[in-house]
Amino acid sequence: MPVARSGRAALEVATQAAKDAGGIIRAHFHGERHVEYKGRSDIVTDVDLLAEKAIISLLREEYPGFGIISEESEEIAADSGYTWIIDPLDGTRNFVYGIPHFCVSIALARGDEVLLGVIYDPLRGEFFRAEKGKGAFLDDAPISVSAKATVQGSLVGFDMGYEAERGREVLEVASALWPGIHSVRVMGSAALGLAYAACGRLDIYLHLSLFPWDLAAGMLLVTEAGGKVSEIDGKPVSIRSKKVIATSKPIHEDFMGRVRGG
């Protein structure tokens, strides 16, 4: 794992960046915020931008040769092969509506290989982290995916994204699973949805319109927690994947059997 300019470990730097940004978000949660529309339902606030600025400033200072992919800024390419992948405020619509379910998500990748990921819920104070090959944790406690073995009886979380067609498609998937599942939840934050799948709060998480900043940290959390992340059709996942399922390995096998059999 690359060491920062200050000599700190990458996880320590990512942790500070996430918690600094989380402090900004928390301080503005009950205040006024300026909202702009990037698309039909894709919004950004001044708080997203403040949080992003704090994260990027620290990461550029500590790792000046690394690339950066962030939701609210142009991609910064680098020759080092390393890239920070950032969502400064995942769940902006929840934030704007006063729903206390959103997070900061930061990952470090070498090429398409995610080396570490952190997801911080600034209101609950929950900090999810994973490093490749070292397991996944909520604060300092190890976490693991659901112990369930089949889709039947599972709690399914999903999000609809910003594309109308993808939103309809994920609703059709949820409808096809119903009533053979326990229930469904529309999360409003893909990163937290993946983190909840990693710690077993959700048995399955689905999303059909993801971006790297939604996916990178969470996919590492799920795999390090003993789970399986793939494309919705079972093909291998990458940080550029759009249509993704995250769950336990037995549920994943059962889900794919149902898809191929149906």
pLDDT score for 32: 76
Q: Where in the chain is the domain with CATH 3.40.190.80?
A: 155-261
| Percent of the chain residues past pLDDT 70, beyond the cut | 97
pLDDT score for 33: 74
pLDDT score for 14: 98
Give backbone dihedrals phi and psi of 89, rounded to 5 degrees, phi first. -150, 90
pLDDT score for 38: 65
Q: Which residue has the higher pLDDT, 179 or 194?
A: 194
14-70 tens-digit pLDDT = 999 999 999 999 999 988 778 777 655 566 789 999 999 999 999 999 999 999 999
The mean predicted confidence, pLDDT, of the chain is 92
CATH top-level class for 155-261? alpha beta
pLDDT score for 40: 56
Over 90: is that where the pLDDT of 258 sits?
Answer: no
Note whether 115 and 1 are within 8 A (CB): yes
Note whether 107 and 220 are within 8 A (CB): yes
For domain 10-142, give the CATH superfamily: Fructose-1,6-Bisphosphatase, subunit A, domain 1 (3.30.540.10)
> If 0-12 CB within 10 Å is exposed, 13-18 middle and 19+ buried, where does residue 79 land?
exposed
121-166 tens-digit pLDDT = 999 999 999 999 999 999 999 999 999 999 999 999 999 877 778 7
pLDDT band at 95 (very low <50, low <70, confident <90, very high): very high
pLDDT score for 166: 79
Buried b (16+ CB within 10 A) or exposed e, 143-172: bebbebebbeebbbbbbbbbbeebbebbee
pLDDT score for 140: 93
| Three-state secondary structure call for residue 89 | strand
Q: Which residues contact 208 (CB under 8 A, 6 or more apart)?
A: 161, 166, 169, 170, 173, 232, 242, 243, 244
Question: Position 253: which residue type?
Answer: E
203-213 tens-digit pLDDT = 999 999 999 99
Q: Where in the chain is the domain with CATH 3.30.540.10?
A: 10-142
> Rounded CA gap, 193 and 196, in Å?
5
Measured in whole angstroms, the distance separating CA 70 from the mean position of its chain's CA atoms is 13
Q: Which of 9, 84, 98, 4 is nearest to 45 (CA)?
A: 98
> Rounded CA gap, 168 and 15, in Å?
36
pLDDT score for 118: 98
Peptide bond preceding 88: is omega within 30 degrees of 0, i.e. cis? no
